[in-house]
């Protein structure tokens, strides 16, 4: 248990927010999860039940009713004031839309006690884009989780120039206390560490295949055999799903747009969207 952080609220109970809330509660913290209306809270309830089943199967120590107790122990609310009250740390996982995030921080800044730390889970926005809206830039930073937090347990910690170093340390300590491996960034960087490595890697792989140099399977084999890695770039792309890289590429420079068109015409337009659709660069059994 972290020394300075005991009560944690998570804003947004979608894909990532529900996982962050569950993982935090599983490690003994008092957790409140906030979403905008009753419909979203019903969906959150279902997500927590599903997570309980997943933890029971995949996470050590989640048996003997612990996963179910964890789900039942999370307080759900659609009242932002209730979520903010008494919270030592608020982790924000609302939609990746700057205006929604800024608006959320403006309201939070007025509702949360002075000592509360705010952390954003944003994947593509920088904390600097939001810090003024918080009204407390010294107590604000990014804490970025990966999808399936119980398994892919990195927590990238990235402050702004205004983040108080003691706040940064407290969040690093908190990340460890909930079973994450904290990855400390010293400066702001779009893509943090993981995507700064992964995105150019995946783009290089696609350029090899789109340019007719080698088949996706051969590229993957080269990477696996040559480095000992368990998966090649096209296997990773299939897991991510082809729509996300397409959306990134289509908004990038000329080379990126060429790759986007290749992805679209050869795969996306043919319904090959990756693992979730049954076929991407590889075919999967249903």
Q: Which residue is nearest to ligand NAD (CB)?
A: 14
Of the residues 5, 10, 11, 90, which one makes contact with ligand NAD according to CB under 6 A: 11
Q: How far is the CB of 100 from ligand NAD (least distance, A)?
A: 5
- DSSP H helices, the chain, are 15-26, 38-58, 66-73, 80-84, 98-111, 131-134, 165-177, 194-210, 216-227, 233-240, 243-250, 254-266
Give me the residues paired with residue 199 across strands: none
- What track of x and - describes contact with ligand NAD for positions 110 through 149 (by CB under 6 A)? -----------xxx---------------------x-x--
- Applying CB under 6 A, the span of 92-100, 175-183, 259-267, 270-278 interacting with ligand NAD comes to 92-100
**Distance, CA of 121 to chain centre:** 6
Q: Residue 248 corresponds to which tokens in the numbers above?
A: 């990134």
Asked whether position 16 contacts ligand NAD by CB under 6 A, the answer is yes
On the 0-12 / 13-18 / 19+ scale of CB atoms within 10 A, 283 is exposed
| Alpha-carbon torsion (250, 251, 256, 258), positive or negative | positive
Q: How far is the CB of 207 from ligand NAD (least distance, A)?
A: 24
Of the residues 12, 137, 216, 245, which one makes contact with ligand NAD according to CB under 6 A: 12
Binding to ligand NAD (CB under 6 A) within 33-52 occurs at 35-36, 40
- Applying CB under 6 A, the span of 91-99, 190-198, 204-212, 263-271 interacting with ligand NAD comes to 91-99
Contact 112, 87 (CB under 8 A): yes
Give residues in contact with ligand NAD (CB under 6 A): 11-17, 35-36, 40, 93-96, 100, 104, 121-123, 145, 147
């Amino acid at each position: 248990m972290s020394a300075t952080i005991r009560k944690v609220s998570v804003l947004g109970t979608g894909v990532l927010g529900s996982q962050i809330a569950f993982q935090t509660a599983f490690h003994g913290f008092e957790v409140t999860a906030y979403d905008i209306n009753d419909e979203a809270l019903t969906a959150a309830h279902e997500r927590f039940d599903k997570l309980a089943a997943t933890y029971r199967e995949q996470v050590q120590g989640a048996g003997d009713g612990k996963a179910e107790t964890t789900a039942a122990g999370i307080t759900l609310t659609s009242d932002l004031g209730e979520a903010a009250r008494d919270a030592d740390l608020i982790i924000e996982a609302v939609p990746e839309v700057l205006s929604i995030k800024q608006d959320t921080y403006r309201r939070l800044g007025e509702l949360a006690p002075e000592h509360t730390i705010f952390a954003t889970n944003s994947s593509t926005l920088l904390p600097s884009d939001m810090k003024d809206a918080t009204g407390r830039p010294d107590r604000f930073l990014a804490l970025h989780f990966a999808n399936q937090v119980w398994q892919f347990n990195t927590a990238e910690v990235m402050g702004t120039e205004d983040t108080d170093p003691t706040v940064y340390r407290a969040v690093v300590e908190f990340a460890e206390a909930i079973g994450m491996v904290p990855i400390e960034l010293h400066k702001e960087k779009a893509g943090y560490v993981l995507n700064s490595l992964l995105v150019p890697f995946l783009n290089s792989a696609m350029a090899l295949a789109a340019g007719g140099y080698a088949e996706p399977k051969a590229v993957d084999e080269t990477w696996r055999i040559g480095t000992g890695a368990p998966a090649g770039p096209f296997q990773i792309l299939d897991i991510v799903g082809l729509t996300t890289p397409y959306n990134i590429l289509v908004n990038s420079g000329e080379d990126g747009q060429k790759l986007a068109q290749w992805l679209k015409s050869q795969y996306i337009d043919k319904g090959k969207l990756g693992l979730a659709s049954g076929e991407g660069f590889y075919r999967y059994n249903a």
